[in-house]
Amino acid sequence: MTRIASSRGRDLIESVEGLRMKAYQDGNGVWTLAYGHTANVHPGDTCTQEQADAYLAGDLHQAEWAVNTFVKMPINQNQFDALCSFVYNIGSGNFSKSTMLKLLNEGKYEEAAQQFFVWVKVAGKFSQGLMNRRIKEETLFMEAV
């Protein structure tokens, strides 16, 4: 069964990514637009709300695919949503090789949840913004449905 993020999951991503209608460089120097969209973004690019929503839908679909593909143990909707937000941020390649995924697939949910806090650096430096995001993701992950 292929799952999709709930409105709560999408709202989480929108809130932690923020909406920027003009291209900017993120903390790693990557050109970014809309809700953290990075594919084919160039200096000076702009978008409308409709384009931002379309970018979000496409990028979220990739995150959903990764969670559906790589997580082999049963997870609830909150866990799925939290993982989609996490993958949306770190990318499916990083997720596929992560200790978090390994622990999840061993059924070690609480240990896996602690792995959110490994991913709190930008360009090698601690980021309070990422820590705030990880707290929200971990809290949602651990919340019963």
Q: Are the CB atoms for 55 and 47 separated by under 8 Å?
A: yes
First to last CA, the chain: 19
Distance CA 35, CA 138 (A): 20
Give, in order, the Cα–Cα distances in Å from 44 to each of 22, 56, 95: 7, 19, 31
Closest CA to 89 of 112, 66, 110, 63: 63
Enumerate residues 6+ apart whose C-beta is below 8 A from 110: 142
**Among residues 11, 14, 17, 53, which one is catalytic?**
17
Q: Which tokens hold the place of 131?
A: 């820590």
Active site residue 26: yes
Q: Just list the catalytic residues.
A: 17, 26
